[in-house]
Amino acid sequence: MLYKSIIRPLLFRKDPEESHEKILALLSRLVFLSAALEQFYRVEDSRLRIRVGPLTFENPVGLAGGFDKNAIAPKTIASFGFGFMEIGAITAQAQPGNPKPRLYRLPEDDA
């Protein structure tokens, strides 16, 4: 309810890219809440555990690459219960990323 009535309308006033960056900046400052978030969001169920090659993941829900491409808030994001995350990249030179606009809203899909 809080999200739909207050947070979403505030985020939708800004450009999607700007909202994304502001949320990442906020998450980077909420590291002190990581343990509490993990207690709330973590799901432990052995039926969800998956194995891909030599890797074992606690659940099959992952965070795709690109959400935190500069590794601004990995600890806080990890507390949301993802089974795996792709965060940032290591390159010899900084990369600009894909051209903007990179993020879109689909209000007709509630997205």
Structure tokens at 76: 């806080």
Determine the Cα–Cα distance for residues 71 and 94; give it in Å rounded to an integer.
13
Strands 62-63 and 84-85: parallel
The encoded tokens of residue 99 equal: 């051209």
Instruction: Give the model's pLDDT for residue 23.
Output: 92
Q: How far apart are CA 75 and CA 97, in angstroms?
A: 22
Rg (CA), the chain: 16
Q: In sequence order, what are the beta bridge partners of 57?
A: 50
Q: What is the pTM of this model?
A: 0.78
- For the chain, the structural domain boundaries read 32-90
Q: Which residues of 72-110 are buried (b: 16+ CB within 10 A; e: fewer)?
A: bbbebbbbbebbbbebeeeeeeeeeeeeeeeeeeeeeee
Residue-by-residue pLDDT tens, the chain, 111 positions: 788 888 888 888 889 999 999 999 999 999 999 999 999 998 899 999 999 999 999 999 999 888 888 889 999 999 999 999 988 777 888 777 788 888 888 888 877
